[in-house]
Every structure is written in C-alpha cells, then in structure tokens.
Structure 1
Amino acid sequence: MNKWELPGSFDYSGREIRYGRLGEGPPLVIVHGTPWSTFNLRHLIRELSAQYTVYFYDMLGYGQSSKAEGDVSLGVQNHVLDSLLDHWKLDAPIIVGHDFGGATVLRTHLLNERPFEKIVLIDPVAVSPWGSPFFRHVSAHEAAFSGLPDFIHEAVVRSYVQTAAFKPLEEETLQGIISPWTGQQGQAAFYRQMAQADSRYTDEVQLLYPTIATPTLILWGREDSWIPLERGQDLHGMIPDSEFRIIDDAGHLVIEEKPDELVKEILEFIQA
C-alpha cells in the first residue's frame, strides 16, 4: 500500500487539521465520515482530480489530524469545515460528503450558511434515528474500551469496520482503516468519537432540509446495513428537487466498494 500522506496543516483552536489538494480545475471539496479518513476517499480523489481541484482533509479527531482529547462531535465538525473553506479561500465550491461527512456538509450549509454550487451526499448520517447499539454501549463504557489490550482493540476495529462493507475488504484496505486508530492516542480517539455521537446534531438541522435550494444528489449503497436504504429515500423526500441514485452490490462503505460507479454518477450530476 502506498503511504497516504496529507501535506497541509491548519490550526483550528490549537488543534491541527491535516489536509491535501490535488488536480486543477473548478474547486471540489470532499469530506469523509466515521470511522474513516481521507484514505478511504483516495479512489474518488484521484479520479475527480483529473477535472477538478479536489480539497480534502481528515476531520478533527480522525486520520492524521489531531486526536487530542476534546470535542470531535458533529457539533464542532461544521465549524472546522467552515474555517477550512475560509483558509482555502473557497466561495461556493462543489462539495461531496460521505457518512458523518454528509451530515457535516449539511450542517455547514444550513447552520453556517455556507453556499455550495452543488451538493453530493453518499450514505449520509442525516435522518434520525441513527446510531448502533455498539455506539450506545461505547458511550456508556468509554473508559473501559479505551483501556482494552492492543490486540483486542484491533480485533474490535477490524470486525466493526468490516460490517460496513457488503463484501469482504482487502487486507491492505483494512490496514489503512485500522492504522490511525492504533496506539494509545488512536485507541482513545476511536472510542471518543463514538461516545460523542449524538442524533441531536442531525435533529437540529433535519427540519431545515426542505429549505435547501442547492442542487443535491444522494447516492446510496443498496446493501447498506449501517443506514438502511429507506433513510436515503426519506432524505430524498425532504430535500426539494434532489436526485437519488442507488449503487447495487455495495454497502455503507460504497466509497471503497464501487468508487468508479460513484465517480460516474458524481460527474454526470455536477457537469449536467
């Protein structure tokens, strides 16, 4: 596996955000979800950068960004994105968000009043109810999970992330996902982001979805077992004139399973 590195650095309230930029053309920002990082967006980034300047970053508490103790909830992630857009001097770029990244895009658009040329949401965490029993269990016992022996923790992460895919993931992909969550700081960060997951952060914007006037495309893995297809259909009904496309033979981690099909759908939409 080629080492995935983010060369850029941005200070957000004393915590480092790592980011990258690739390609030339109109600006396009892409935002990952949980427990992922920009590593999982590498296929989309490389393909989209052939025609666009793609901006990407590891969210606060994820990947190569700071994993110091503190707020890493959806309640802070929209402010991080808002600050990055200022840092990059971007006004109304195209934006793509997967999972929590989709929720962050929606919160940034609706709460920070950031304009976007077009919005693409991939299996976003956007409609209540969401959050697995495992999330709730971690929230109640965060300290105990943070203290698990390394080999048990890695087995937990491995088993957990595999459930996001419809078919088994390749070992190098699993290693790229697991690696940022290892070590004392990484392990604590993994359970911290779960413990801070709260549906109130989507509840407070859900009633605003009908006000979205920006052209929006919603893409969904048909076999998503983390957020069922019905949630995507509900979101489609809430956002006026949105488009909805289903990606067959893919689960929640459609960004790893069907990147070529995603790129095709994204390009057709943003170039229409």
Structure 2
Amino acid sequence: MAGQGPALLLLHGLGCDHTTWNPVIRSLAKKYTVIAPDLLGHGRSAKPRADYSVGGYANGMRDLLTVLNIDKVTVVGHSLGGGVAMQFAYQFPERTERMILVAPGGLGPEVTPMIRAVSLPGFKMAMAALTVPGVRHVGMAGMRALSRTGMSLTHDLDEVAEIYDSFKDPGARAAISHVVRAVVDVRGQIVTMVDRAYLTREMPMLVVWGTEDKVIPVEHADRAAVIAPGAQVEVLGNAGHFPHKDHPERFVKIVNDFIRSTRPATYHRGRWRTLLRNGPSTPVSEQLQLVPAASGPIA
C-alpha cells in the first residue's frame, strides 16, 4: 500500500506480481491510496491447492479490502488481472467505482500459444526440466537479448523472462497451471465478459492497450469499444502487453484524466436489477459482427 486519497486496487497479470506496477505506483500514490497485492499463487502470496478461478480471485480481493477497511475502489487490472477486475465489478458493484482494464483477458478467445501450452498435461514436467540452473539462465539471457532487438515479435520477452524465472518454484508452476486451466484451454480463452458488458452502463470503464501486444491481440480493444460503447479506449503506440511499463508517464496521465473526468459509480439495487432483467439492448452475437476479427499468429 502507498499514498492517500481515493483507493486504487491494482491487479497484476498471469505469472507476474505486484512489482509489475513499480513504474507507476509512486506517481499514482501522489493522488490515491494504492493497493497492489500479489494474487494467490503469485509472488510472495501462498500457493496452495485452491480455487484459482476469476470468481475466486474476486472473492479474495473483496476479503482483502474488507480486512483493510476499504469500502470502495477503482479497480485496475492487467491481463489476467483485467479479467479479475471485470469479475470483481460484476460480483461486487456496490464496492466498485470504476474499472480500468489494461490489455485484459476476457474479451475474446485469442491468446498467445505460450499461454495455451500451460493448459497441457505435460506443462509442469516440461517446465521442471527447463528451469534447472543453467538451462534457465541461458533461456532468460536469450529472451532478454531478443527483447532488445526492437523487433515487434520480441517486444515483451524481457517480461516473459521474469515469468519464466518464477517457474523455478514448483509451487508457482502448479499454481499457474491451475490458474490457466481455469481460464484457457487449447483453443484459447474460455472466460468472457462479453455477455455482461452491458452492465458497464452503470460504471465508468477505461481500456488501455498497446499496438505491439503479442499476448492478447490489440483488436480486442475494438471489441471493447463495440460491446461497451460508453467505455473510453486508449491504444498506445510502441507499447506491448505491458503499456504501463512501456509508457509509465503517459499511463498515469491517462488514469488521472479518466478518474478526474468521471463520477464514481453509485450502486443502486433497483437499477442493477433492471439491467439484469432486461439484458443487453442488442444481442451479443449481433454486436460481435461489428468487430474486426483478430488476425496473426495469436489467433
């Protein structure tokens, strides 16, 4: 935790931990109370045999905020954390003032084959062999060298190297395997918020993406703009799957501007009941026909 002011809950992505937010925490803490946990199975948090679904993570964040005596937050989620943020807002609208989604999961099936591979039965055994000393260090050095070439396909490999390093812990390997199997299979993402996006009419939403994202395609930003027409969408050039790390100053400005220009959502049970009862004004299938199909090797 850092800072004072309205609360921001920062949720990291798959295989990462709270340090992914280090480039922006100090600046955000000038205006907000920043809470950046390690999700269960990640970083210094426990790695039990447990519920690693997005719903389970949302429940855990509710409990954390309750322990910290924080009633409402603007929830900021990156990648997997974006899916958790959407689920948190869906499960606990009375505790959510805004959603800020950074290259989030949950907007379509497309995802990098590297993540789909984690769902395969042999992942833990293969990764045990690939993370022995020597092999791991050579692999990490190669990824970091490729990330410095400036090629679009290798943009995020320095971050991937850090995730790879975390897999040396058997507990982390098992936890990540459980996480991925809860949200991804060999065909791609299986958890979606598309059918619930109409609920964002009651909640301000910002989506931030990088043009060079090779983990989840930037075309999903177009999908967000169609299924949640009230959302603000920002696509950053020369940024990959971690736009908050590629352009931290611009990211903080976008967040500040969004929070300053929007009113926090006010939960009203009657309005929420009406939204749930009526559903989306346009069927989801018709909305998705307006969205360009994601292309390239990620699909």
Q: Same fold (TM over 0.5)?
A: yes
Using structure 1 for the length normalisation, give the TM-score: 0.80
Q: What is the CA-CA distance between 1:80 and the residue it aligns to?
A: 1.2
**Aligned equivalent of 1:62, options 21, 36, 42:** 42
Deviations 1:134-173 (A, max 9, x none): 333332223422432514456667749969863664xxx7
Please tell me whether residue 145 in structure 1 is matched to residue 126 in structure 2: yes
**Aligned equivalent of 1:208, options 196, 210, 216:** 196
Structure 2: how far apart are the matches of 1:131 and 1:73?
Answer: 17
1:157–1:55: structure 2 CA closer, same or farther, 3 Å change rule? Answer: same
Tell me what 2:171 maps to: 185
Unaligned runs of 5+ in 1: 1-20
Equivalent runs, 1:99-138 vs 2, <5 Å? 99-138=79-118
Please provide the CA RMSD for this pair: 2.8
Q: What is the CA-CA distance between 1:100 and the residue it aligns to?
A: 0.9
Unaligned runs of 5+ in 2: 262-299
Tell me what 2:22 maps to: 42
Please tell me whether residue 72 in structure 1 is matched to residue 52 in structure 2: yes
- One-letter code aligned to 1:269: F
**Aligned equivalent of 2:210, options 198, 218, 221:** 221
SS at match of 1:208: helix
SS at match of 2:220: helix
1:228–1:174: structure 2 CA closer, same or farther, 3 Å change rule? Answer: closer
% identical aligned pairs: 24
1:233–1:24: structure 2 CA closer, same or farther, 3 Å change rule? Answer: same
SS at match of 1:201: coil
- One-letter code aligned to 1:264: K
Structure 1: how far apart are the matches of 2:65 and 2:155?
Answer: 34
Structure 2: how far apart are the matches of 1:156 and 1:70?
Answer: 30
Structure 2: how far apart are the matches of 1:143 and 1:27?
Answer: 37
- One-letter code aligned to 2:167: W
- One-letter code aligned to 1:258: H
Tell me what 2:69 maps to: 89
SS at match of 2:119: helix
Q: What is the CA-CA distance between 1:79 and the residue it aligns to?
A: 1.4
Using structure 2 for the length normalisation, give the TM-score: 0.73
SS at match of 2:257: helix
Tell me what 1:8 maps to: none
Deviates further, 143-152 or 246-255:
143-152
Tell me what 1:12 maps to: none
1:188–1:220: structure 2 CA closer, same or farther, 3 Å change rule? Answer: same
**Aligned equivalent of 1:246, options 220, 231, 235:** 235
SS at match of 1:207: helix
SS at match of 2:207: strand
Q: What is the CA-CA distance between 1:259 and the residue it aligns to?
A: 1.2
Tell me what 2:268 maps to: none
Structure 1: how far apart are the matches of 2:217 and 2:239?
Answer: 12
How many residue pairs match? The answer is: 247
Contact preservation (8 Å) 1:108, 1:114: no
- Structure with higher Rg: it is 2
Equivalent runs, 1:11-26 vs 2, <5 Å? 21-26=1-6
Contact preservation (8 Å) 2:106, 2:191: no
1:200–1:129: structure 2 CA closer, same or farther, 3 Å change rule? Answer: closer
Q: What is the CA-CA distance between 1:224 and the residue it aligns to?
A: 0.9
1:211–1:187: structure 2 CA closer, same or farther, 3 Å change rule? Answer: closer
